[in-house]
């Protein structure tokens, strides 16, 4: 059995966290950006990761848990290397978001909220990402938008991501 390792920020992340605190009036106000650091560091916000943030920030565990569960951008279970978040809000839905979700699901053989067995892709659905004029769209890993999607362009994107080197 592998030795369990205590979860903690890297030195660089700790430094970033300390610097962050200087920009906020209270620790509580710095919780969201600190959770971003934690998610980047740990990949997702497990119970252990949430407990670490709670202890680091001296905030009640229930408060940290409530914030993490409120925001869909925080992952409470592991996600794949490529997180495909399809917007299914009104404009996107009217312009075919359901077909986009369906074609990703069919190609990758996963449902919404699931991850492929190789850990490469997770399919999610999200609320409006303020790109309604280019609906339907999806967000990749919370940092890139793919817009005016069709089933063909979506499958092409998946093929490109699949082909990328690890």
Using rule CB under 6 A, residue 131 touches ligand FES: yes
Q: If DSSP codes are grouped into helix, strand and coil, which group holds residue 117?
A: coil
Other residues' Cβ atoms within 10 Å of the Cβ of residue 6: 6
Using rule CB under 6 A, residue 13 touches ligand FES: no
How near is the Cβ of 98 to ligand FES at its closest, in Å? 12
Which residue from 32, 134, 126 is spatially nearest to 79, judged by alpha carbons? 126
Site stretch for ligand FES (CB under 6 A), options 50-58, 62-70, 127-135, 158-166: 127-135
Rounded CA separation 66/88 (Å): 24
Which residue from 66, 69, 104 is spatially nearest to 85, judged by alpha carbons? 104
- Decide whether 49 or 87 has the Cβ nearer to ligand FES: 87
How near is the Cβ of 57 to ligand FES at its closest, in Å? 32
Selected from 90, 113, 156, 159, the binder of ligand FES by CB under 6 A is 90
Q: Show the tokens assigned to 104.
A: 């990703």
Interface residues with ligand FES (CB under 6 A)? 87, 89-92, 128-132, 135, 137
């Amino acid at each position: 059995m592998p030795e369990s390792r205590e979860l903690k920020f890297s030195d660089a992340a700790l430094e970033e966290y300390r610097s962050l605190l200087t920009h906020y009036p209270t620790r509580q106000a710095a919780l969201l950006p600190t959770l971003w650091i934690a998610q980047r560091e740990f990949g997702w916000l497990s119970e252990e990761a949430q407990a670490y943030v709670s202890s680091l920030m001296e905030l009640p565990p229930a408060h940290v848990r409530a914030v993490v569960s409120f925001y869909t951008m925080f992952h409470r279970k592991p996600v794949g290397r490529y997180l495909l978040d399809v917007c299914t809000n009104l404009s996107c839905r009217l312009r075919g978001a359901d077909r986009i979700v369906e074609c990703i699901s069919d190609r990758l053989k996963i449902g919404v909220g699931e991850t492929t067995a190789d850990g490469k892709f997770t399919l999610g659905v999200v609320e409006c990402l303020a790109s309604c004029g280019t609906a339907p769209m999806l967000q990749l890993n919370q940092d890139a938008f793919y817009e005016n999607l069709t089933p063909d362009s979506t499958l092409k994107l998946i093929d490109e991501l699949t082909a990328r080197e690890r």
